[in-house]
Structure 1
C-alpha cells in the first residue's frame, strides 16, 4: 500500500454547494424498508436562494401574544397552525400548491420558519420540517440539511450567520427537511444532523460534504478498514464486512464516527486515531472496492496544523440541542399520525436506548456514544 502524508494532497471545497448523490439507507427496525441506490441530495446552502417570500401567507395571522395560552395541552394558534398535546410537534396546514413544492425539492423554508416565529421565541437550534408522504417521491432526496449559520472554528469552513434570513435573531443553526415522518426513526435523520459539522473541508473528499473514501466510518460515509488488493486497488470494509458508503452508512443503524464526534465537539483531538484518505479515488463495480493513487494519512495534529484547534473546545461545546418539529400537510393530520411522530421523537431524544419498537436503530444519545442529546419539547417559556 502506498501511503503519503497530508502535505501531498491538495483539496478545495466551495463555500456553498448543492450535491446529489447515491446512498444506502438501511434500518434494522421491523417496519423500515431497505432502500438502495436512491438519490440523496444534501443541501448545505447557507441561504435558500430559491425561497420566495411572496408565497408567505403568514403576514395577516395573529401572533400568540394576544391569545390566552393554556399551561398544558394542545394549542391552536391559528386554523392552519397548531401544537399537539405533548407539545413536541406543530402541524402547519399548507395550500396544496405550497405543499407540492416541498415534494419537488423546492419548498419555501422561510414560509415555514417565519410562520413558526410568529408564535415561538427564537429558542431553537434546529427546525425540523416533515412531510406526511407514505412513499418518498421517486425523484426526491431522502433528506436535506440547509445550514443557516456556523460559529465553530477549526473544521475547514468560515464562520457566518444567515439566521435573520429565516426570521431568527441568531439562535437557528440549521433547517432539516425530510419527506416522510418515518425518517426520524429509520434515517437519514442522524445523517442530516451530522451535516451541521461535516464535511466542511477538514479532510479532502471527492464526495462533497461527505467523508468519501476515508476511514471515518460514520453517518456521512467512510470505511473502518481497507485491504490492499494490489495494482492501486483497495477493498473498503465496515464492521468486518466488505463494502461501505462514500456518503452514508446504513441510516440510523450506524453511530457517529470519531471524526464526526470531534467535529461536533464531543471528543478531543487526543481521542482521534490517524485517518486514512484515498488520493484520487475512483469507485469500481464491486461494492466497496476503489482505485486510488495512494492512501494519505492525517493525524489529529495534521488537522490542527491545517485548520486550527476546534473552537469551542470539547469542554465548552454544546451538548444539548433544542429542535422545533413541524409536520406540514394539506389538512390537519390524524391523531394516529401525531402519536407516531411524538413516539419517534420521544425515542430519538431519550438519554437511554429507544424502546423495543426501534429494534437496533440508534437514537441521538446512542449515536453520540452517550455524549449529547436532542430536546423537542416546546415549553410555556418558548411560546410568545
Structure 2
C-alpha cells in the first residue's frame, strides 16, 4: 500500500510546495545555474541560486532524488559555490535546502534538480531511451508566431508561444486562451485525443489563481447529473475531445492535480455539495472521499470526529478526494464508468461543515446520506454503464514556453508523463491514473511523431571551430566557424560568456582590433532542433609601444679655431631628464681613435639663455656625480667611462623645448674629435626628443659630420634628415659647405651599410612638406643642400654629412621626428 504524509507535498523545480488549508506557499530558493535538466561538464561547475531571507543553505548531490551519496556541501549564506568531481555519465540529483531566516527549528525547505538526465539531447530520459547515445531528432513545425516541437519519445509536445501570451497565462491562467491554443495544436493532428493537458514550462512557479483548471468540452453520458452538450468545434475537435486541462506547474502532472482535474470530466454534479462545480472538495466542506462515515463519533453539541479513509490516518484535509491522496472512490469510479453500481457504498455529506482545531474533528448541522439507489433515482443510471463504457483514454501533454527548452528539461517532463500514464505501479508514493483506478482505467499517450507531417530537423554540428589569434592593435581580424545542420542555422558569438551585440553570422570580423576586443570567444550555433557551442578561441591583442628617439649623438671636431661644437636638442611638450655626455679621451683610450679632444667641457643652454648655461660639467669623474652616473650609463645603453680618471664630461639635466649643448676644450685653445650624446633616461613617450642637430666644420674622412640616433619602441618611425650647407649662408654663416652629401648608415649583419643617400635635396620626395610640418627652416630653392624623408624600423642609425668632391666648410646635420 502507498504511504502518504499528513499533508501532500509536491516537489517542483522552483521549490517545495506545502499544501495546507488550500494554500500553496513557496519556501525554497531556486537554482539559477547551471540550467536544471542540462548536462554537467567535467571540471569545476559554479552553482548559483536566488538569494532569499535565509540563514544558510545546504547542497546535497546524489545519484537519486534526495540522496547525498556524491557530496554534501554547506555554503552558509553564500548564493554560489564551485563544485568539482561530479559524474558526467549518469544522473546527478541536487537537493537545495533553504533555512528560513530567524528560524530556530533547523527546518530546511528543499527543492530538487536533476542533471545528465538526457545525455544524447533528444528530450527523452536516459532510462526511458531505447537508444541512449543516439539522439532521435525532434520533430517540429512552425505555425505563424507559434512553434511546435515533439520530443524523441513522442510523449511531449513543446508549444512555443508569444512572450506576451505566455506571461499572461503564467500570471492569470489559461482562461481566455484555452480554445485558441487547443484548436491550434489539434490542427496539426488527427482528432485522436480525449484529453489535452497544458502545463507551464519546467522550472516556472506560476502565479495563476489555481493549481489546476478543467474545461468541459463535451458530455455524451447520461445519468450523472450533467446535461448533454458538445462544444468540441470551439476547441478544434471533430467530436472526440472531452476535456482540456491546464496545470499551473508541470509538477502537477504526476499525481493529485492531474487526477483531480481528469475526474471533473464525469463527477462535477453527481452529488450536490456546498460548492458548485465540485462533487466533494474536502477543503471547503469535507464532503465525499476525505473521511470515513463508519468511523464517525458524535462528540456532542454538533461536534464530531472521524478517521480518514486513508488507512491508519486520523487526519484528512485539502485534496483528499479526486485521486489526490487516495485512489478514486467507488462513487468516482462509477461516474467514470469504471465500477458497477453495486460497488458504491453510501456517501455521507456533512451539512454546515466547519473544521475543528484537532485532527479529524469538525462541527456540522446535520448529514445527508446518498446511496447509489438515491443517486440513480435522482440523477439517472449512468449510460453507457460499466462494461460498455470506455476504459482507455488518449491524452496529449503540451508544454507552454516562450523559448525552446533544454532537452533535459523536456526529458524530465517526459519522465513525469511516462510515470503518470504507466499501466502499473509508478514506483513512488503518489498515484498514477492506472493505480488510482485500481487498474481499471488507463491513459495512453500515442506516439504522434508521424502525425506531425514535417521533415525532421537535424541539429547543428561544428566541423571547424574558431581558432585563437594574436594580432596587432588596429589590424583587421576574423573569427569563423564551420557548422552543418538543417537551415536556418542561427549564430550568436559570445565574448567571455556574454553575447556580442549584432554578432550573428558564421564569421565575426574586426575591422581594427582594440585592446577591449581581447578575450575568450565562443559561438553558439542553433536551429529548431537544438544548439551547440564551439570550443573557445582566445583573441590576444598586441599593442606596439610607440617609438621614440631614445639616444642621439654627434661625432665631430670641437674647439677648431676656439669655436665650440654646438648640438641642438628639441623636447616635445614638457620636461624630461636627459643624460648628456661629451666624450673625447675615452675614444682614444678604449676605442683607438686618434686626434681626440683631450679635455672636453659641456655647457647646456636653454632657449632665451644664450649667454648663460643652466648646467655644466668638466671632468665628470671629479664632479662627485660619478657614483650615480656610472650605473645610469649601463641603464640607458651608453658605453662606460673610467670613473676615476676620465676627463670626459657628463651630466643629467632636465631638457624642455629647444636646448643647445656647447662643447669646447678646457681650457679653450685645443681641438679634437669628440662625441656628444643625449640619452632619454625615461621610457615614456611624452615628452620625448623630437629633433637633434649639430653645426660644425665638415669635410671628408675623419672630418665628416656624423649624427647618431637610436629609435626605441615597436613601431617604425618616419624621419626628416637634412645635411645643410649653402642655405646657412642665408643666416649669415660664413664659409659654408658648398655641396654637402648626406648618407644614412646602419649595421646589417655586422657590416656598416648605406641605406639612403642624397646630394641636392630637390631630387628627394616630400622634403619641403616635411620641413614645414616639423617647423624646420626652409631650404633655398635649387640649393645643393641634401635631405631625405625616410621611414625606419627601431634600431641604431647614423647620418653622415660630408663634402662632395673633397669640399669643406660649415655644415648642419639635423634629424626630425615626423608624424
Q: TM-score range by the shorter chain?
A: 0.7 to 0.9
In terms of Rg, which structure is larger?
A: 2
- Checking the alignment, whether the CA contact within 8 Å between 1:281 and 1:290 is kept in structure 2 is yes
1:233 matched residue in structure 2: 303
1:115 matched residue in structure 2: 184
Q: What are the within-5 Å matches in structure 2 for residues 190-201 of structure 1?
A: 190-200=259-269
Q: 2:245 aligns with which of 151, 168, 176?
A: 176
Q: What are the within-5 Å matches in structure 2 for residues 212-291 of structure 1?
A: 212=281, 213=285, 216-217=288-289, 221=290, 223=292, 225-238=295-308, 239=310, 240-245=312-317, 248-249=320-321, 252-291=324-363
2:197 matched residue in structure 1: 128
1:75 matched residue in structure 2: 139
Gaps of 5+ in 1: 1-23, 41-71
For residues 87 and 260 of structure 1, the distance between their equivalents in structure 2, rounded to whole angstroms, comes to 30
The answer to whether structure 1 residue 95 and structure 2 residue 166 are counterparts is no
1:57 matched residue in structure 2: none
- Checking the alignment, whether the CA contact within 8 Å between 1:123 and 1:382 is kept in structure 2 is no
- Partner deviation per Cα, 1:281-305 (whole Å, 9 max, x = no partner): 3334444433222222221111111
For residues 238 and 213 of structure 2, the distance between their equivalents in structure 1, rounded to whole angstroms, comes to 23
The answer to whether structure 1 residue 337 and structure 2 residue 404 are counterparts is no
Moved more, 264-273 or 128-137: 128-137
Which has the larger share of strand?
2
- Partner deviation per Cα, 1:196-254 (whole Å, 9 max, x = no partner): 11131x2231133131456632xxx5555432211122223212423323654597442
The answer to whether structure 1 residue 204 and structure 2 residue 272 are counterparts is yes
2:374 matched residue in structure 1: 302
For residues 160 and 450 of structure 2, the distance between their equivalents in structure 1, rounded to whole angstroms, comes to 24
2:9 matched residue in structure 1: 26
What is the DSSP-based 3-state SS (H/G/I as helix, E as strand, rest coil) of the residue aligned with 1:324?
strand
Task: Indicate how the Cα distance of structure 1 residues 226 and 102 shifts in structure 2: closer, same or farther if over 3 A, else same.
Answer: farther
Task: Indicate how the Cα distance of structure 1 residues 250 and 273 shifts in structure 2: closer, same or farther if over 3 A, else same.
Answer: closer
For residues 350 and 247 of structure 1, the distance between their equivalents in structure 2, rounded to whole angstroms, comes to 22
Task: Indicate how the Cα distance of structure 1 residues 382 and 371 shifts in structure 2: closer, same or farther if over 3 A, else same.
Answer: farther
Gaps of 5+ in 2: 1-6, 25-135, 454-819
Q: TM-score, normalised by structure 1?
A: 0.76
What is the DSSP-based 3-state SS (H/G/I as helix, E as strand, rest coil) of the residue aligned with 1:196?
helix
Task: Indicate how the Cα distance of structure 1 residues 246 and 206 shifts in structure 2: closer, same or farther if over 3 A, else same.
Answer: farther
What is the DSSP-based 3-state SS (H/G/I as helix, E as strand, rest coil) of the residue aligned with 1:182?
helix
For residues 250 and 169 of structure 1, the distance between their equivalents in structure 2, rounded to whole angstroms, comes to 29
Q: What are the within-5 Å matches in structure 2 for residues 156-167 of structure 1?
A: 156-167=225-236
The answer to whether structure 1 residue 328 and structure 2 residue 365 are counterparts is no
For residues 118 and 99 of structure 1, the distance between their equivalents in structure 2, rounded to whole angstroms, comes to 20
In the TM superposition, residue 363 of structure 1 has moved relative to its aligned partner by: 0.9
What is the DSSP-based 3-state SS (H/G/I as helix, E as strand, rest coil) of the residue aligned with 2:266?
coil
In the TM superposition, residue 311 of structure 1 has moved relative to its aligned partner by: 0.7
1:371 matched residue in structure 2: 440
Moved more, 184-193 or 245-254: 245-254
Relative contact order, higher structure (CA 8 A, sep 6+): 1
For residues 451 and 220 of structure 2, the distance between their equivalents in structure 1, rounded to whole angstroms, comes to 23
What is the DSSP-based 3-state SS (H/G/I as helix, E as strand, rest coil) of the residue aligned with 1:119?
coil
For residues 399 and 11 of structure 2, the distance between their equivalents in structure 1, rounded to whole angstroms, comes to 25
For residues 246 and 335 of structure 1, the distance between their equivalents in structure 2, rounded to whole angstroms, comes to 35
What is the DSSP-based 3-state SS (H/G/I as helix, E as strand, rest coil) of the residue aligned with 2:172?
coil
Moved more, 291-300 or 306-315: 291-300
- Partner deviation per Cα, 1:32-67 (whole Å, 9 max, x = no partner): 643223458xxxxxxxxxxxxxxxxxxxxxxxxxxx
- Partner deviation per Cα, 1:112-138 (whole Å, 9 max, x = no partner): 112212211111001110102535335
2:669 matched residue in structure 1: none
For residues 187 and 81 of structure 1, the distance between their equivalents in structure 2, rounded to whole angstroms, comes to 28
Q: TM-score, normalised by structure 2?
A: 0.37
Moved more, 259-268 or 109-118: 109-118
Task: Indicate how the Cα distance of structure 1 residues 298 and 246 shifts in structure 2: closer, same or farther if over 3 A, else same.
Answer: farther
What is the DSSP-based 3-state SS (H/G/I as helix, E as strand, rest coil) of the residue aligned with 2:307?
strand
What is the DSSP-based 3-state SS (H/G/I as helix, E as strand, rest coil) of the residue aligned with 1:362?
coil
Moved more, 141-150 or 239-248: 239-248
2:216 matched residue in structure 1: 147
Query: What RMSD in Å do the two structures reach over aligned CA positions?
Result: 2.7
For residues 140 and 341 of structure 2, the distance between their equivalents in structure 1, rounded to whole angstroms, comes to 48
Which has the larger share of helix?
1
2:365 matched residue in structure 1: 293
For residues 32 and 349 of structure 1, the distance between their equivalents in structure 2, rounded to whole angstroms, comes to 24
In the TM superposition, residue 74 of structure 1 has moved relative to its aligned partner by: 2.8
For residues 344 and 122 of structure 1, the distance between their equivalents in structure 2, rounded to whole angstroms, comes to 24
Task: Indicate how the Cα distance of structure 1 residues 156 and 251 shifts in structure 2: closer, same or farther if over 3 A, else same.
Answer: closer
In the TM superposition, residue 144 of structure 1 has moved relative to its aligned partner by: 0.7
Task: Indicate how the Cα distance of structure 1 residues 100 and 39 shifts in structure 2: closer, same or farther if over 3 A, else same.
Answer: farther
1:36 matched residue in structure 2: 20
For residues 28 and 255 of structure 1, the distance between their equivalents in structure 2, rounded to whole angstroms, comes to 20
- Checking the alignment, whether the CA contact within 8 Å between 2:172 and 2:207 is kept in structure 1 is no
For residues 128 and 338 of structure 1, the distance between their equivalents in structure 2, rounded to whole angstroms, comes to 15
What is the DSSP-based 3-state SS (H/G/I as helix, E as strand, rest coil) of the residue aligned with 1:309?
coil
Task: Indicate how the Cα distance of structure 1 residues 262 and 91 shifts in structure 2: closer, same or farther if over 3 A, else same.
Answer: same
